[in-house]
Amino acid sequence: MQTGAANLSNHRQEHIVGMLLRAGVIIAAIIVLAGAVLYLMQHGSERPNYREFHGVPHNLQTVSGVVKDAFALRSEAVIQLGLLLLILTPVARVALSAVSFTLQGDRMYVIITLIVLGVLLFSLFGMKQA
Amino acid sequence: MSILLFTILVWLVSVAVGFLGALTGLGGGTLIVPLLTLVFGVNIHYAMGASLISVIATSSGAAAAFLREGFTNLRLAMFLQVATTVGAIVGVLLVTHVSTTFIGVVFGVMLLYSAYVSGRLPPEDIATGPADKHSETFKLNGVYPAAQGHQPYKVQHVAGGFGVMFTAGVVSSLLGIGSGALKVLGMDRIMRIPFKVSTTTSNFMIGVTAAAGAGSYLKLGYIQPTVTMPVMLGVLLGSMLGARVLVRAETRILRIVFAVLIGITGIEMIYKAVTGGV
């Protein structure tokens, strides 16, 4: 069982992590907004058609494709890059938790946290496309 | 309707949903999919992608605010996230093999269940009983600050809670939602964790579970950037505004109104799914 003092020090760490997360979310939102302005200037007057599912273009489905096209300033890829950054914020929180458990010398929870991190990374990078 | 008008309208609706969700503490994410499909005619897979992204936005955006009020049990969160993230992967494997009618019906049932959970007041903190032996093994018990000093609590029914969390993970990827209602069921009702701890711990878990699903959604082509963009920006702004004007004592009527709204949406969703409108 945790002692009150250990729990409070966790709380302080969590506070810092909370601020980092918020910063990540705000940066993600700014990138999405920039992509949105680009996109609406280019395509704002067209008609939306999202009724049928075709899947988004392949280059918007992978991390590498998104990054490459975003740097070429393709508006949809810029938005997708912001969304990708947002997806990474909880992943970062889990990674920071692993550091926290390592500092506490809690081997069991270092392992549990690495399992969670592994599943997250597998989902993002590992899983074969359906 | 032009893309510009579509974007503005979806954004406005998302601000409202995010605002109401934060104000009532219920999370408005579950309403995004029905609104996009039923009102805006968006395909349910794109709607699920946009919704799952908005879940991450509210979770990470609210983390800083939540940490001031409550007390995340990091070990408990991490332990249960093994179940929710693996569940999320299983949900992704399922989602490609079921019909949109099936998704629509399950969604409707989930909305009805959320309405039922939301309509009730937060449970009183339960006097804790003897701890489950697994909660000792996994060091899940903790303390939280209360008016009368540090209050210890013991986690019960660990295996049952773990199972419910796995289901919550599956549902999260199957429907593109945070499945907060199921997480609350698991932590409050089964594991008997104090409300103050379960709310903040659940907020962390919802974001991580959604990220596990979203990574795979990306590769399935469900994350349509131009649909997701107004939803993400709207829900984020709405939930930040909502957190600011949050006055807990006066949200009771709002909670009930919101619960009724979710319930009606659930019935509508099932009806449309069965008649082929989703």
Tens-binned pLDDT, residue by residue, of chain B (278 aa): 899 999 999 999 999 998 887 776 666 678 899 999 999 999 999 999 999 999 998 888 776 666 665 677 889 999 999 999 999 999 999 999 999 999 999 999 999 988 887 777 655 555 556 678 888 888 888 887 777 777 888 888 999 999 999 999 999 999 999 888 788 778 888 898 887 788 778 888 999 999 999 999 999 999 999 999 999 999 999 888 877 775 554 567 777 888 888 899 999 999 999 998 77
Of residues B21 and A120, more confidence is placed in A120
CA distances from B88 to B47, B72, B162, B167, B205 (A): 17, 22, 14, 9, 12
Residue A17 pLDDT: 77
Closest chain B residue to the Cα of A129, Cα to Cα = B219
- Give the pLDDT of residue A24: 92
Q: Which pLDDT belongs to residue B124?
A: 57
Strands of B73-157 (E only): list them.
142-146, 149-153
- Residue B25 confidence (pLDDT): 64
- Of A23-32, A59-68, A101-110, B251-260, the least confident: B251-260
Gyration radius from chain A CA atoms: 19
- B229 at interface of A, judged by CB pairs closer than 8 A: yes
How many pairs of residues across A and B have Cβ atoms under 8 Å apart?
A: 219
Quick one: which of B13, B261, B10, B249 has its CA closest to B118? Answer: B261
The pLDDT-based confidence of A39 (bands split at 50, 70, 90) is very high
User: How close is the nearest chain A Cα to the Cα of B253, in Å?
Assistant: 30
> B51 in the Ramachandran plot: left (φ > 0), alpha (ψ -120 to 50) or beta?
alpha
Cα B72 vs. chain centroid, distance in angstroms? Answer: 17
Mutate one of A30, A49, A56, A67 to test the B interface: name it (highest B CB count within 10 A): A56
Alpha carbons A53 and A23: distance in angstroms, whole number? 34
Backbone angles phi, psi at B264, to 5 degrees: -60, -45
Any A CB within 8 A of B67 CB: yes
Chain A residue at shortest CA distance from B67: A15
- B3–chain A nearest CA distance, Å: 5
Indicate the residue of B64, B92, B224 with minimum beta-carbon distance to A56: B224
Q: Does B74 touch chain A (CB under 8 A)?
A: yes
Dist CA B142 CA B215 (whole Å)? 32
Closest CA to B65 of A4, A14, A8: A14
In whole angstroms, give the CA distance from residue B228 to residue B213.
15
Rounded alpha-carbon distances, angstroms, from residue B11 to B54, B204, B235: 12, 25, 8
Contact between A50 and B227 (Cβ < 8 Å): yes
Q: For chain B, what's the residue count? A: 278
Is the torsion defined by CA of A66, A72, A76, A79 positive or negative? positive
B145 beta partners: B150
C-beta separation of B153 from B141 below 8 A: yes
B41 touches chain A (CB under 8 A): yes
Residue A13 one-letter amino acid:
Q
Predicted pLDDT of residue A2: 46
Interface test with B, best of A15, A60, A76, A94 (most B CBs within 10 A): A94
A-facing residues of B in 148-207 (CB < 8 A) are: 150, 152, 204, 207
CA distance A102 to chain B (A): 13
Average pLDDT over residues A48-57: 90
